Chain A
Amino acid sequence: MTFLLTEDQEMLRDTAMAFARDEMPVTRLRQLRDSGANGVDAETRQKLAELGFFGVIIPDEPGGEHFGLVGLGQVLEAQGRTLAPTPVLQTALIAASALQLGGSAEQQAEWLPKIAGGETSFALALDETAHFNPLGVATEAESNGQGYTLNGMKRYVPDAHHADMLIVAARTFGEAGDRHGLTLFLVPADAKGVSIQALHSVDSHGAAHVTLEDVMVPESAIIGALDKGADVLEPVLDRAAIGQAAEMLGSADAAFEMTLEYLNSRKQFGQLIGSFQSLQHRAAKMFTELELTRSCISAALSAVDEGKPNVAELASLAKARASELVHLVSNECVQMHGGIGMTDDADPGLYMKRARVQEALYGSASWHRDRYARLAGY
């Protein structure tokens, strides 16, 4: 395991950081929100595609070199700093990973270049209740002779309101709660029977409820093996949790810097408020948490690239700690800004709203703590 970036990854990080700062600052999210775009930003998506950010884990030639999840983590951290709504996590990480881990040669040949080129965007339609519960899928996929017929409803699917393709987790055997009997399907978002209800979420990134009503897909739409979708889904969700955590690290880092700047400029009682010890100690504790969490995320990203056996453990560690971190830092960011922090004009509120969404996606801190304990055998 290494905590250091290669020269190429370092350059990718610099590019991603500069792009986030110059081309998608927090004011961009405000513009999108105020114009009612609901997190849809075709212009930025195009620029991200030109920079090659959708192909970070996809080699030019099969088996060729790429930047790895460590590289993609740098891109996600950068976009987290400015709360940018982009399809990178859903498309460049989740869909690309699902296809790489479970896709047939034909599926890979068809979709990976389109992902890398930024032509096609994806959304993973998984949860059916208000809480992350991958094995709780009840959406039915019934064999109909030529293929499968899907019926069910997916709640709060990130990016589903503007994705071209859906990856739908459905049940081909057993019942909700069973690991065996899950199957993953590729479904065009405009297929007959798919209805997408756009949601206006608190973070202004948007999401959608997806209803599947007698949606017909061919057998070739299956990613991985019939009934054994969990074998693909679980490692994909670990990567998603790690990628989400990397994005959260960026958000926490930026919210913390904003808070420090305020502590070093706002005066009360003739003093900089940052000179008050009660605030200094809270800042120092936040910084300590940031540094500890940075190590977890870095370790988790590189464990994936190195094919380490403890990826699941590190994914839960990274996501649980990142969730606690953004929770703490976003709350303190609002509090330490005082009345300003309560205003819509200031940014702390945006970081806090986004934090709660980030915390909920791909398993909350308590979900991951529970799994961490299970993996450790107690």
Chain B
Amino acid sequence: MAYDESVDLEQFRAETREWLEENCPPSMRTPMKDDEIVWGGKREKFKNPEAKLWLERMGEKGWTSPEWPAKYGGGGLSRAQNRVLQEELRRIKARPALFSFGLWMFGPALLEFGNEEQKLRFIPDIVKGKTRWCQGYSEPGAGSDLADLQTRCEDKGDHYLINGQKVWTSYADKADWIFCLVRTDTSVKHEGISFILFDMESPGVEARPILLISGESPFCETFFTDVKVPKDQLVGEVNGGWQIAKRLLQFERSSISAGGFGGTGGSGILGPEEYAKMHIGTDSEGRLIDGDLRGRITDHKMHAKAFNLTVQRQAEQAKAGQQVGHTASILKYGAAKMNQDRHELLVEALGTEGLGWEGEGFDPSAKKVTRQWLRSKGNSIEGGTSEINLNVISKRVLGLKDHK
């Protein structure tokens, strides 16, 4: 439902509060459990039935994407109203109704670059969590040099034909649809890339999960063999996909640095200083006995605090209409380092308690730390490696020149 700007915000707050009171189920006001996260899509099983109800209700209001236009199923709220909504959600400690690459990455890009028909066709199902999207970007030969991608997309008159392979496709085995970068011109590099959408159930699509060092398989290798795609599923111009790809990467980097690293993080996990107190001990004044570790923990905590303050500062500046430049790369670089340092310190503070893999004999939260520590190594690789982010900062922000 769209609200007029003139509607008093306090009235909006009162209505929102009342609606949430009636519609947010009790278990959705408790801390998120890792196995109850809702990613939506056709294959979503909803371990907790109240999570299904919560998604349906929030999706109906468009409040999974409060500021998207109402005509595409979004909430149609103003920035100010959305702030009120988020405050009210936080007030009752409501869980997010939906985790979704559609909401975080693809939707914003489609709203910017898609045609009207595409927006009407795809956005509402993202809002309601009915379609789960995955991202077909990296290839075996195109990682940091993403524009070198080779997956072929040929124009066959009444359809496109796609052949090639993607890798590191997050949850491709669970997704309904894919937004995919393909090569429509082999004679040029960046100018030969197109942005195309297709159903993962199309004949010729195969997704194979990749087992990671952390023991999990969040990513897939994805193969396309003679996949037929209707022509109205190409977004923007033919050969104009790179602009969309880059914009979408900015959304991805922002969502990663906003806290989306490697799942949903830290339930039940303490800070490194707490594990160090427990497993190493303190002196008579309450200081950690290991002075060197104490200093390094503090250095990390200061970095984390500085990072959070910077996120706040840039949000305030953006709100006030000030230029904040290419901050996504700075924050992505900083967030990766912060998360990796934190997990190294957690494992170090836990000592041998932090070296368990499975089975009995280890504190369950410590075993989670071990897995997350391994997973965190990907933070400086996924969504643009730290080195690529440093390239972006030095060239686009600092204006340093390319090598001739």
Chain A residues within CB distance 8 Å of chain B = 1-4, 260, 263-264, 270-272, 274-277, 279-281, 283-285, 287-288, 291-296, 298-299, 317, 320-321, 366, 369-370, 372-374, 376-378
A378 to B294, CA, bound (A): 8
A378 lies within 8 A of B282 (CB): yes
Most A CB contacts (10 A, CB to CB) among B299, B309, B402 go to: B309
Binds A, one of B99-107, B161-169, B312-320, B374-382: B312-320
Take A264-B399, A292-B334 as given contacts and tell me if A3 and B312 are in contact as well, using a CB distance cutoff of 8 Å. Answer: yes
Closest A-chain residue to B330, C-beta based? A288
B398 lies within 8 A of A373 (CB): no
Known contacts A270-B404, A284-B393; 12 further A-B pairs (Cβ under 8 A): A1-B312, A3-B317, A284-B389, A287-B393, A288-B393, A294-B313, A296-B309, A372-B298, A373-B273, A373-B295, A373-B297, A378-B282
Binds A, one of B20-28, B70-78, B229-237, B300-308: B300-308
A45 to B401, CA, bound (A): 42
A369 lies within 8 A of B306 (CB): no
Distance to closest chain B CB from A5 (angstroms): 10
A4 to B313, CA, bound (A): 8
Task: Tell me the number of A-to-B contacts counted with CB atoms below 8 Å.
Answer: 125
B403 lies within 8 A of A287 (CB): no
B312 lies within 8 A of A281 (CB): no
Closest B-chain residue to A313, C-beta based? B305
A293 lies within 8 A of B306 (CB): yes
A369 lies within 8 A of B404 (CB): no
Q: Which of B320, B402, B404 contacts A4 (CB 8 A)?
A: B320
Take A280-B395, A285-B390, A317-B306 as given contacts and tell me if A274 and B330 are in contact as well, using a CB distance cutoff of 8 Å. Answer: no
B313 lies within 8 A of A3 (CB): yes
B333 lies within 8 A of A288 (CB): yes
Count of chain B residues with a beta carbon within 8 Å of a chain A beta carbon? 45
Distance to closest chain B CB from A174 (angstroms): 18
Chain B residues within CB distance 8 Å of chain A = 273-274, 276-277, 282, 286-288, 294-295, 297-299, 301-303, 305-307, 309-310, 312-313, 316-317, 320, 327, 330, 333-334, 387, 389-391, 393-395, 397-404
Take A3-B316, A298-B313 as given contacts and tell me if A264 and B400 are in contact as well, using a CB distance cutoff of 8 Å. Answer: yes
A296 lies within 8 A of B401 (CB): no
Which residues from chain A contact B305 at a C-beta distance below 8 Å?
296, 317
B313 lies within 8 A of A295 (CB): yes
Take A274-B401, A287-B397 as given contacts and tell me if A374 and B287 are in contact as well, using a CB distance cutoff of 8 Å. Answer: yes
Distance to closest chain A CB from B190 (angstroms): 20
Which residues from chain B contact A281 at a C-beta distance below 8 Å?
387, 390-391, 394
B398 lies within 8 A of A376 (CB): no
Which residues from chain A contact B403 at a C-beta distance below 8 Å?
271, 275-277
Which residues from chain B contact A317 at a C-beta distance below 8 Å?
302, 305-306
Distance to closest chain B CB from A260 (angstroms): 6
Distance to closest chain B CB from A263 (angstroms): 6
